[in-house]
Structure 1
């Protein structure tokens, strides 16, 4: 009973960030070219976590379609709700071994990725809620993850001093060529712009260049 109560609380708290579209609404959404954003929702729901979140045939196959970005955010929300309802461990086996992302179906990166899509498309309030849910216990925050998340929150809230403070905290934990540090530097360079612009515009880009 206690486990069921915890799972239910997690599901209700997460869905409070945004309202979920009905499945029929998601299936009816169209891309800019008139084609369906999602042709088989059940197929996405049946994917393992790594395929859904990280592989081209998963979430990216929807989010990469012009006009389908918010449909992709809704798809993440539905997929994540399904994982949390199952309450089972989420893991993936790499050549080096198995990595467990969650013990109970609640995956931090899914909050983050849904939040990013919503932030890119003006749904700042929902994005902030999701970003806050992606903050990990400090002992699980590797590579300056929490500092990166809090810096992003500060940017969206328009709090430059907090953004710069989190940048300083991040610098203390990661090397100079860290990708997320480059993103934060871009947010500072283009402070005051939209998240989509500061994250994606060429003149804001401070990410490390790939080695030749």
Structure 2
């Protein structure tokens, strides 16, 4: 193969390497600035907090930043634990993802609440544990309440993707093409 052809074939790889973020440096930068951010900014605002690292494809470091924020705050925050679970699941660290997801459960949820949060979380845990029966049961509870609350319909889309690609990793199932 001529050198010019080899260079053309390697060009996309070099471009990808040149644009790939330095996740470690990005984490260090955000550890200096983000641990004092209020919950709303750190956890819920696009382009802020852990979301910067997650958007850059640095899910391991995004999880590390979430853990550091929780440790600095010494508090339980369900949504932060949930986002930590998602980041660890994307890295296929199932034990850490499951542990964080369990901390995201709403201990005060009742059957009459419109958002089926616990069923969503428990279905995701069942996916990570490869427990199809539990996954189907919790997914069905979310599906049954999809008309009661918009969040259920959104969560059901992800659960359906996980269900269709049950054999894949969490990240693989998330990235799999949705059915028409």
Question: TM-score with structure 2 length normalisation?
Answer: 0.77
Residue in 1 aligned with 2:48?
57
Aligned equivalents of 2:22, 2:155: Cα separation in 1: 35
Q: Is the 8 A contact 2:43 2:50 kept in 1?
A: yes
Aligned equivalents of 1:34, 1:43: Cα separation in 2: 17
Residue in 1 aligned with 2:115?
143
RMSD across aligned C-alpha pairs, in angstroms?
2.3
Q: Is the 8 A contact 1:154 1:162 kept in 2?
A: yes
Greater helix content: 2
Aligned equivalents of 2:108, 2:145: Cα separation in 1: 13
Q: Is the 8 A contact 1:37 1:65 kept in 2?
A: no
- 1:87-166 superposed matches below 5 A: 105-139=75-109, 143-166=115-138
SS of 1:45's partner is coil
Which structure: larger Rg? Answer: 2
- 1:175-186 superposed matches below 5 A: 175=147, 178-186=153-161
Question: TM-score with structure 1 length normalisation?
Answer: 0.66
Aligned mate of 1:172, from 121, 136, 144: 144
Structure 2 unmatched runs, 5+ = 1-18
Aligned equivalents of 2:55, 2:159: Cα separation in 1: 24
Shift of 1:142: 5.0
Greater strand content: 1
